[in-house]
């Protein structure tokens, strides 16, 4: 197992290094930030001074070298726009995204797996057919449209829930959270539902497919022949046997939603990192873009690694293969 | 000897879109304590569905439409799910063909054995594990308390089937339905398990229904044989009598097609034709299209009649006139 961890860690280092080069070169290739950061009526002297100060007069490889050596020491530079350290900027936005995404992905998984198991267990019942029809909707209706409809219905027409913002926050462990106050929860509700719908549909389909397949196996027949109740069979046998694909998709969804909840965050003006990256791209705030994308890569590497560890926890065959 | 199971006129039909499939169509037999009954027939003859019917585990669209199954004197046909579940595992259990597929790969042997014991009443982990270890050593798995922590993939196929047998025996059921449990194993393991099963049945008094298409395996084990064809019993009787003097041409064909009954180098004999589709059975004797003895009388379905110790459903029973000496 230790060998496995070390191997994965080295892989992660290579992935991150490659990612930093790609991102740095990619960002360098699009537009000139000086045109956006400096007012067009500034004098040539001010322009040149700014270019020198930002280090934009040096060759690309030198810029990358400076960035890389600083990054290794935990310094990802300062935002061109906000003029504060990038890490601090991202860190201040991260909790908002984190709580929104965790709430929506976790509840989509719990609810989706439950509904999916039911739909797979009784595929011919009317409730199952309704669940499956709704899951098709969840897949095919565009997220931004659902978001707008949610605002229109629950915020504008009914006036039950706020249309945007984080609401009241409470400090815990030095970070401000919304989910700990009633007002905050009311603010989270709509964006969380908006984010969750697609994942819910996907989890339903995954759990249903797994359930239908597993219920036909001899393992289940043998358990039934031994007199196990249906509830025990579902809880103790089925749930474990369908869990591998569910954990995989959970990890991938968690990563991609954390990094790119952009649409929902924009519609509900949720001050998270998704909104930050979109704003940074529009003003070519290079340090923010580079740091954000590299951190996203780190996030995916970490999540994939965790998923692999969870696999070994669930499935003894995978565990055996790794120690061998 | 006391009778533990009596099946009468069992009919299990599958109502499909294409029509009614009469997978089991009027099967009757009885089983005594500690007895091994061999249930023989080709694929699709209704052996396995008969087994599942006994446990009340026929999957929809299948359903027991008629007949009676009395287990230790109590009727199972028409009983509600709760009653059936309470009896499964405790009074009647089943083992399957492929031991790799029957055990859950994600749970330890001990956990799976515990679940089966918890299904029939509260029991402490310690007591359950003690009982599990006892049964494992009984089926020949030594140092069994350590083996409880092992996962199925750590066992060979033969060992896994032993574990499955141990699980089926946990509650000392009156009847075990064994659906081709040695077919997936290699021959030497097969012989070992057959011998062990024979001893176990003798020791525990558990009766067994051994389902197989392999007459050679069954004949070494069962005291009586039940030959099925197209959902019906075509011949029934003591193993020795049926093997020596098969009355039904189908049984005769099965015996003749055994590799051991052919002289070396000679081509293997086979029964001509294939099992008929259960959706389009001929109106008379279902075996008639494949039968050398068939004549006009076979247009009417033959009833079971007794000839000596055997019971046979044939208009022309007895040794075949065209029979090649073995």
Q: Across all residues in chain A, what is the average pLDDT?
A: 85
Fold of B3-101+174-222: Rossmann fold (3.40.50)
Q: What is the mean pLDDT of residues B124-150?
A: 86
Residue A207: is its pLDDT beyond 80?
A: yes
Tell me, letter by letter, the H, E, C secondary structure of chain B. CCEEEEEEEEEEEEEECCEEEEEEEEEEEEEECCCEEEEECCCCCCHHHHHHHHHCCCCCCEEEEEEEEEECCEECCCCCHHHHHHHECCCEEEECCCHHHHCCCCCCHHHHHHHHHHCCCCCCHHHHHHHHHHHHHHCCCCCHHHHCCCCHHHCCHHHHHHHHHHHHHCCCCCEEEEECCCCCCCHHHHHHHHHHHHHHHHHHCCEEEEEECCHHHHHCCCCEEEEEECCEEEEEEEHHHHHHCCCCHHHHHHHHCCHHHCCCCCCCCCCCCCCCCCCCCCCCCCCHHHCCCCCHHHHCCCCCEEECCEEECCCCCCCCCCCCCC
Residue A54: is its pLDDT beyond 80?
A: no
Residue B120: is its pLDDT beyond 90?
A: no
Q: Give the pLDDT of residue A310.
A: 87
Angstroms from A236 CA to nearest CA on chain B: 9
Angle made by CA atoms B314, B276, B54, in degrees to the nearest 5: 75
Return the domain boundaries, chain A: 92-276
CB atoms B95 and A222 under 8 Å: yes
Residue A40: is its pLDDT beyond 60?
A: yes
| CA–CA separation, B304 and B315 (whole Å) | 10
Residue A9: is its pLDDT beyond 60?
A: yes
Phi, then psi, of A87 in degrees rounded to 5: -60, -40
pLDDT confidence of B137, banded at 50, 70, 90?
confident
Six-digit token string for B12: 């299990």
Q: Give the pLDDT of residue A302.
A: 87
| CA–CA separation, B26 and A231 (whole Å) | 34
What ipTM, to 2 d.p.?
Answer: 0.86
**Which chain B residue's Cα is nearest to A233?**
B115
Q: What is the mean pLDDT of residues B5-22?
A: 88
> Tell me, what DSSP letter sits at residue A180?
T
Q: Across all residues in chain B, what is the average pLDDT?
A: 85
Q: Which DSSP helix (H) or strand (E) runs through A276?
A: helix A273-282
Residue A232 class from Cβ within 10 Å (0-12 exposed, 13-18 middle, 19+ buried)? middle
Q: Give the pLDDT of residue B20.
A: 85
| CA–CA separation, B61 and B19 (whole Å) | 11
SS3 A78: strand
**Tens digit of each residue's pLDDT (9 = 90 or more) over A129-142:** 999 998 998 888 88
Q: Give the pLDDT of residue B320.
A: 58
| CA–CA separation, A248 and B139 (whole Å) | 39
> Is B42 an interface residue toward A (CB < 8 Å)?
no
Residue A61: is its pLDDT beyond 60?
A: yes
Q: Give the pLDDT of residue B324.
A: 43
Phi, then psi, of B212 in degrees rounded to 5: -160, 155
CB nearest to A227's CB, from B89, B98, B101: B89
Residue B323: is its pLDDT beyond 50?
A: no
Angstroms from A302 CA to nearest CA on chain B: 25
**Tens digit of each residue's pLDDT (9 = 90 or more) over B203-251:** 888 999 999 888 888 888 888 999 998 888 888 989 888 888 888 888 8
CATH number for the segment(s) A92-276: 1.10.3720.10
CB nearest to A225's CB, from B94, B98, B153: B94
In chain B, residues with a C-beta closer than 8 Å to the C-beta of A226 are 88-89, 93, 115-116, 119, 167-168, 170
Give the range among A136-150, A215-229, B62-76, B298-312 with minimum mean pLDDT. B298-312
Q: How many CB atoms lie within 10 A of CB B35?
A: 21
Residue A63: is its pLDDT beyond 90?
A: no
pLDDT confidence of B326, banded at 50, 70, 90?
very low
Six-digit token string for B202: 């003798």
In chain B, residues with a C-beta closer than 8 Å to the C-beta of A232 are 115, 118-119
Contact A240, B106 (CB under 8 A): yes
């Amino acid at each position: 197992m230790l060998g496995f961890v070390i191997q994965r860690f080295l892989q992660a280092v290579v992935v991150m290094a490659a990612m930093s080069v790609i991102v740095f070169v990619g960002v360098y290739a699009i537009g000139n930030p000086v045109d956006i950061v400096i007012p067009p009526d500034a004098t040539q002297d001010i322009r040149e001074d700014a270019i020198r100060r930002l280090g934009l007069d040096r060759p690309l490889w030198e810029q990358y070298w400076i960035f890389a050596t600083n990054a290794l020491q935990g310094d990802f530079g300062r935002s061109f726009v906000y003029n504060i350290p990038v890490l601090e900027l991202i860190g201040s936005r991260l909790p908002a995204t984190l709580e929104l995404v965790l709430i929506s992905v976790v509840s989509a998984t719990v609810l989706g797996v439950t509904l999916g198991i039911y739909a797979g267990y009784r595929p011919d019942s009317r409730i199952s057919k309704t669940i499956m029809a709704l899951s098709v909707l969840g897949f095919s209706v565009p997220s931004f449209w659902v978001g707008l409809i949610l605002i229109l219905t629950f915020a504008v027409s009914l006036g039950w829930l706020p249309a945007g913002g984080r609401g009241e926050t409470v400090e815990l462990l030095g970070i401000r959270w919304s989910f700990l106050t009633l007002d905050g929860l009311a603010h989270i509700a709509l964006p969380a539902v908006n984010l969750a719908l697609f994942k819910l549909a996907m989890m339903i389909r995954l759990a249903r497919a797994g359930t239908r397949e597993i219920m036909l196996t001899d393992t289940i027949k043998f358990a039934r022949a031994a007199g196990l109740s249906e509830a025990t069979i579902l809880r103790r046998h089925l749930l474990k046997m369908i869990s591998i694909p569910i954990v995989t998709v959970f990890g991938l969804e968690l990563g991609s939603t954390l990094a790119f909840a952009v649409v929902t965050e924009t519609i509900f003006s949720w001050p998270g990192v998704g909104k930050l990256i979109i704003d940074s791209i529009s003003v070519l705030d290079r340090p923010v873009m580079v740091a954000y994308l590299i951190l996203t890569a780190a996030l995916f590497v970490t999540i994939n690694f965790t998923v692999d560890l969870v696999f070994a926890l669930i499935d003894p065959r995978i565990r055996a293969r790794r120690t061998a | 000897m006391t009778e533990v199971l009596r099946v009468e006129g069992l009919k299990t039909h599958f109502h499909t879109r294409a029509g009614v499939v009469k997978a089991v169509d009027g099967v009757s037999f009885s089983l005594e304590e500690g007895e091994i009954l061999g249930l023989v027939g080709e694929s699709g003859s209704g052996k396995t569905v008969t087994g599942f019917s006994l446990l009340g585990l026929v999957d929809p669209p299948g359903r027991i439409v008629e007949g009676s199954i009395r287990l230790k004197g109590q009727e199972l046909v028409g009983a509600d799910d709760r009653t059936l579940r309470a009896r499964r595992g405790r009074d009647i259990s089943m083992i399957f063909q492929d031991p790799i597929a029957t055990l859950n790969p994600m749970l330890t042997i001990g956990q799976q054995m515990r679940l089966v014991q918890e299904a029939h009443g509260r029991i402490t982990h310690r007591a359950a594990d003690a009982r599990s270890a006892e049964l494992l050593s009984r089926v020949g798995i030594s140092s069994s308390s350590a083996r409880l922590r092992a996962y199925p993939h750590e066992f060979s196929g033969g060992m896994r089937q032993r574990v499955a047998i141990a699980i089926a025996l946990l509650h000392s059921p009156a009847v075990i339905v064994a659906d081709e449990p040695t077919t997936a194993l290699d021959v030497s393991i097969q012989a070992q398990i057959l011998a062990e099963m024979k001893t176990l049945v003798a020791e525990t008094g558990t009766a067994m229904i051994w389902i197989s298409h392999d007459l050679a395996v069954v004949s070494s084990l069962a005291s009586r044989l039940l030959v099925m064809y197209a959902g019906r019993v075509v011949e029934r009787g003591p193993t020795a009598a049926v093997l020596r003097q098969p009355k039904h041409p189908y049984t005769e064909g099965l015996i003749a097609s055994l590799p051991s009954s052919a002289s070396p180098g000679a081509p293997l004999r086979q029964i001509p034709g294939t099992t008929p589709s259960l959706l389009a059975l001929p109106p008379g004797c279902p075996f008639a299209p494949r039968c050398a003895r068939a004549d006009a009388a076979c247009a009417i379905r033959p009833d079971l009649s007794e000839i000596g110790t055997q019971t046979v459903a044939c208009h022309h029973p007895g040794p075949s006139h065209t029979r090649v000496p073995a």
